[in-house]
Amino acid sequence: MNLITPENYEPVLSVMQTQEAIKYIRDTFQREFGKELGLLRISAPLFVTKSSGLNDNLNGIERPVSFDIQELPDERVEVVQSLAKWKRFALKKYGFKEHEGLYTNMNAIRRDEIVDNLHSVYVDQWDWEKIITKEERTEEVLEATVKEIFKVIKHMEHEVWYKYPEAVCHLADEVYFITSQELEDRYPDLSVKDRENAITREHKCVFIKQIGHPLKRSGKPHDGRAPDYDDWNLNGDLLFWLPSLNRALEISSMGIRVDEDTIVSQCKASHCEGRLTLPYHQMIQNKELPYTIGGGIGQSRLCMLLLNKAHVGEVQASIWPQKMIDECEKHNIHLL
């Protein structure tokens, strides 16, 4: 069982107070986030057809939940694992213009997730996507967007402090940027997670750039990335320090999306050229979809961070092993 039980953990808010705080954080954040980045909220699917190629393959090994539909006897339908590809398609379908974008509430099931304090089989996040020009596919645009998102999260710290001063987690004042290769060079003898903890412990908020390519020393990527949505040279993860667990917490994964060249090179590097024949992939290669930047922001994880909770199950209702539920109760971690 993968579980951290902080010593002498005492949740400041009751379960009912926590529920009130969750609603306040979610309502306030999405309103401020949409305003700051100029995004329109739209509805999103819970499932897509397998043949469309729109489902996120994540690391390529996770099994999506799939089923058949009576009216589509020859089709397999999959519960989304994320909306990384669907969003880009939606921007074109709905007629969004340059520098316009969307966000949506994404709910997913990841059946192969190893559950622990931070991971659940139920995923809830704000998925967002925005149209940019080809010339704006740069590191400067990526970092500027990260800073905009950080600004909204930092503003939320003050909002939560106003309503729940005894419970709020105080955040860093700025984001520290580092590439995954620079991070490996700095901590060559540490594991990936230990590197993330070390750099985030020092700076409190870190954006690790360029995730997907094999690193020089280990020969492995910093973390797995599907080859067909993020450009591995223009992406990254946003981490905050979580005092309750004394470790880094990933709040967002985001990036500038692949263009007609990088989707081919990254699929070849990942030995999955077969995907390039799927409708979505063909649209990118034929320049039929807009160039975009986008990502996801964990809803439960943001609540967990701002309220300094010790387990994601304190801010979302999911399914956990009974042994984990019992152990959490022993340590005052009340799972919903």
Which residues are annotated as catalytic?
Answer: 56, 110, 125, 237, 250, 253
Calpha distance 52→88 (Å, rounded): 13
The Cα 58–Cα 191 span in angstroms is 21
Q: How far is 24 from 1, CA to CA, in rounded Å? A: 32
What secondary structure does DSSP assign to 144-195, as a single string? HHHHHHHHHHHHHHHHHHHH-TTTPPPPPSSPEEEEHHHHHHHSTTS-HHHH
Length of the chain: 336
Beta strand pairing status for 72-79 and 205-209? unpaired
All residues at 6 or more sequence positions from 135 whose CB lies less than 8 Å from its CB, including other chains: none
Task: Give me the residues paired with residue 207 across strands.
Answer: 177, 238
